[in-house]
Structure 1
Amino acid sequence: MGIIEERLAQRGLVLPQPARAPQGFAFSFEWVRVVGNRVLVSGHSPQASDGQLAGPFGKVPSEVSLEAATEAARATVLSVLGSVRNAIGDLDRITAWVTVTGMVNADSGYGETTNAINGFSDLVLELFGPTVGAHARTAVGFAALPLNNAVVVGAELQI
């Protein structure tokens, strides 16, 4: 077990199985695309341990609280790391989190999308430290997200 997986285990965090599409929905893209030393990560949302989407679902903050959206962003790190591990094998190969793009299913005019996506960034920094985990970031609100997820996060990493 590598350093990052040890840190996950110490925190009681478990990476989910590969994403499973809900009935009637198909994933026709790569969750992770490795090009040279670049690891391009498609948008992820929280998953249950079996790979199914875990929610919360709905608009922030009218249907999903900021706190729940922040926790969802934090849980999305596990989804991303599960997919990345499937693509590169060992999470210790990650040498840099380059950029993170966080999307929030936000009510019109909602201005706290940055606070919601902080859940993602905070856990990345906790697990990888400031040298590897520091990243550029965008956190924006959208009128709708796929399958009504409260948050979706994509990233670019380096190995």
Structure 2
Amino acid sequence: MPWRRTSAQTSGDASAEQRLRDHGIQLPQVAPVAGVNNVPIVRTGNLIFLSGLGPAKPGGGLFTGKVGRDVTVEEAYQHARLTGLALLAVLRTGLGSLDKVTRAVKVLGMVNAVPEFADHPKVINGCSDLFIEVFGDRGRHARSAVGMASLPFGITVEIDAIFEVS
């Protein structure tokens, strides 16, 4: 099956840390988690579960609004990319290096959208495309992209992810 990859097939891919440098990608500072009873990262065995994050503005604050009314698909794509960068920052902080990632496993992308909006996958591609840019073929993952009536703080997107690590 073409979507299945073994570690032998992906081990020759370039280093994730080197890809970040080569592509000029800067990861943001890790922000504190909004809740009191949850943590940003949990490892069990060789899996890492990352809590859902939203799109932080570079100067502070969050991108908010309803996609399909206040925010375009293109803007929301960029918000999903920013959220992906934040997820990678948490992952790097927890692991010490993104080179310990053997593959992205699953992404759940939630879009704060008007009821008639139907392009959720196009929005969450902002995060998925980033993971492939950073990890190469190891960045391909299973994914759900769904619409929500609202998200915390009115953010445009929230994304969580699962990674396999060595």
Whether TM exceeds 0.5 here: the answer is: yes
The answer to whether residue 40 in structure 2 is matched with residue 31 in structure 1 is yes
Displacement of 1:67 in angstroms is 0.6
Q: Any gaps of 5 or more consecutive residues in structure 1?
A: none
Residues 17-73 of structure 1: per-residue CA shift (max 9 Å, x gap):
12146xxx65531111111111001111223558x44x3211001011111000111
Displacement of 1:75 in angstroms is 1.3
- Residue identity over aligned pairs, in percent, reads 38
* 2:161 corresponding residue in structure 1: 155
For the structure 1 residues 3 and 26, does the alpha-carbon distance in structure 2 shift closer, same or farther, using more than 3 Å as the test? Answer: same
Work out which of the residue numbers 127, 133, 141 in structure 2 matches 1:126. 133
Report 1:28-107 matches (<5 A): 28-48=37-57, 52-53=60-61, 55-107=62-114
Aligned residue for 2:92, secondary structure, equals helix
**Count, aligned residues:** 152
Residues 103, 152 of structure 1: 8 Å contact kept:
yes
TM-score, scaled relative to structure 1:
0.87
Displacement of 1:16 in angstroms is 1.3
Displacement of 1:6 in angstroms is 2.6
Query: Please, what is the CA RMSD of the aligned residues?
Result: 1.9
Displacement of 1:11 in angstroms is 2.5
TM-score, scaled relative to structure 2:
0.84
Point out the structure with max Rg over C-alpha: 2
Residues 75-98 of structure 1: per-residue CA shift (max 9 Å, x gap):
111100110111111110000111
For the structure 1 residues 49 and 10, does the alpha-carbon distance in structure 2 shift closer, same or farther, using more than 3 Å as the test? Answer: farther
